Amino acid sequence: MSKAVYEAAKKQYAKLGVDTEKAIAALKKIPISMHCWQGDDVTGFENAGALTGGIQSTGNYPGKARTPAELMQDLAFSFKLIPGLHRLNLHACYAIFEDGKKVDRDKIEPKHFKPWVEFAKKMKIGLDFNPTFFSHPLADQLTLASEDPKVRNFWIKHGIQCLKIAEYFGKELGTPCGCNFWVPDGYKDDPSDRMGPRKRLKDSYDKIFKYKYNKKYVTVTVESKLYGIGVESYTVGSHEFYMNYAAKNNLLCLLDMGHFHPTELIADKISSLLLFSDKVAFHVSRGVRWDSDHVIRLDDAVKAAAEEIVRNDPKNFIIALDYFDGSINRIAAMVLGMRNMQKALLLALLQPQATLKGLQDARQYTEQLVLQEELKTYPMAAVWDEFCSRCGLPADESWMKDVLDYEKKEFAKRV
């Protein structure tokens, strides 16, 4: 696209009172936390076996990263194709045991993540973190909500160790680490006791957060879910559970877009949460039928969430991606999702928010509807093009050629 196309778009937006330069500058400053686990189908480095916990990655696309070195290489390559500076989201199961000295999850320490901190420093990015309460012999249906105190204690220790690791990330990298708690606990069929498991989950969390982590370095988020594969009837950590737990304990709610009723959108929940807490966190994901983790598209759900983020100041949000698809090139899946999230944010940044709000408050609903609809065909692509080219990247699908070249060169070594 030529500069003239951008200049024309700039003029068209200016007529609405939208400054495209401001939109570009704002977009550059919104970090998105890219999840490491799309790179290897949530496998991690413990050789723990199958992925469990009601989540599933299917597909055998070649080239899955098998080692820390391969995953870091793939992540670094992906970041190169994503405009702007972002963050990396790790899971506890990505601990690196040098010299083969493997420890169990209740004993992992900051030192097991040192190579990740070095990687982050080299990439000049911040790190976020997630305890891993699944894919483990002691994660049989219930973890923090287990009837067995030994199992609960094991996972409580894991949670505390993860807070220490998150502190280490925040301190080393000079940017607070978002530490997100999600447990898969639940039942396939209707339980007879709904209260017991929830009481135990609450009690376990109380024990984890007795550890007084340094809030300067760590921001704790808690993630709810409605159902998962094999956990269709009852999830201990429901939305209501976490909304109340977060409010009472001064933690943040994390909304995963795939964790609600299939037609329920999270965009409408954001303002209600934000009125009662400092920030709202997301796992940007896409539910399809019973799966909650398809690669995100630039769809209405993502666009609506981005609008709420922009309208309520992006600084008040923690945006992380969460999906995993093993049936397509995993690097392309990461890059595409990140770019889609950025496009959604740009679309929202290019809306005349004050005008739209004014129309609502003046009850000019017809004008509001017309403007909302006409905006959909405004030349956002020209602004996206300008943003990408200022970041030295293509705005179109030509980045896929680089991915395919990389695939040819690197994936052949991974058989």
Site map for ligand RNT, 322-361, x if CB under 6 A?
x---------------------------------------
Q: Quick one: tokens of 122?
A: 């080299």
Site map for Zn ion, 298-337, x if CB under 5 A?
------------------------x---------------
- Which of residues 36, 42, 151, 295 is near ligand RNT by CB under 6 A? 42
Regarding 46 and contact with ligand RNT (CB under 6 A), the answer is no
Task: Give the residue among 386, 317, 286, 306 at the shortest CA–CA distance from 346.
Answer: 306
Q: Which listed range, 5-13, 56-64, 199-207, 221-229, lies at the site for ligand RNT (CB under 6 A)? A: 221-229
H helix and E strand count, the chain: 14, 12
Kindly name the residue from 167, 322, 385, 386 that is annotated as catalytic: 322
Instruction: Please count the residues of this chain forming the interface with ligand RNT, following the rule CB under 6 A.
Output: 14
The least CB distance from residue 180 to ligand RNT, in Å, is: 7
Residue 145 has φ and ψ, to the nearest 5°, of: -105, 10
* Residue whose tokens read 């190579």: 115
Site map for Zn ion, 192-221, x if CB under 5 A?
------------------------------
Contact 181, 222 (CB under 8 A): yes
Task: Give the residue among 7, 102, 112 at the shortest CA–CA distance from 386.
Answer: 7
d(CA 252, CA 243): 8
The number of angstroms, rounded, from the C-alpha of 268 to the middle of its chain's C-alpha atoms is 18
Residue 209 has φ and ψ, to the nearest 5°, of: -85, 5
The DSSP-derived string for 82-137 is SSS--EEEEEGGG---GGG----GGG--GGGGHHHHHHHHHHT-EEEEE---SSST
Q: Which does 340 bind (CB under 5 to 8 A by kind): ligand RNT, Zn ion, none?
A: none
Regarding 293 and contact with Zn ion (CB under 5 A), the answer is no
- Cβ proximity to Zn ion: between 172 and 322 the closer is 322
Regarding 139 and contact with ligand RNT (CB under 6 A), the answer is no
Task: Give the residue among 379, 376, 389, 322 at the shortest CA–CA distance from 42.
Answer: 322
Confirm whether 261 is a catalytic residue. Answer: no
Q: Which does 130 bind (CB under 5 to 8 A by kind): ligand RNT, Zn ion, none?
A: ligand RNT
Instruction: Determine the length of the chain.
Output: 415
Confirm whether 384 is a catalytic residue. Answer: no
Confirm whether 259 is a catalytic residue. Answer: yes
Regarding 33 and contact with ligand RNT (CB under 6 A), the answer is no
DSSP label of 147: S
Contact 5, 395 (CB under 8 A): no
DSSP label of 315: G
Confirm whether 291 is a catalytic residue. Answer: yes
Contact 233, 263 (CB under 8 A): no
- Cβ proximity to ligand RNT: between 81 and 284 the closer is 284
- Cβ proximity to Zn ion: between 177 and 359 the closer is 177
* Residue whose tokens read 């004993």: 107
Tell me how far CA of residue 219 lies from CA of 129, 175, 214, 316, 358, in angstroms. 10, 10, 9, 12, 35
Regarding 223 and contact with ligand RNT (CB under 6 A), the answer is yes
Q: Which of residues 240-269 bind Zn ion (CB under 5 A)?
A: 256
- Which of residues 9, 23, 34, 37 is near ligand RNT by CB under 6 A? 37
- Cβ proximity to Zn ion: between 6 and 323 the closer is 323
Q: Which of residues 250-289 bind ligand RNT (CB under 6 A)?
A: 256, 283
- Cβ proximity to ligand RNT: between 134 and 411 the closer is 134
Question: What residues are labeled active site?
Answer: 182, 223, 225, 256, 259, 283, 291, 293, 322
In the complex, the residues that contact ligand RNT under the rule CB under 6 A are 37, 42, 55, 91, 130, 182, 223, 225, 228, 256, 283, 292-293, 322
Binding site for Zn ion (CB under 5 A): 256, 283, 322
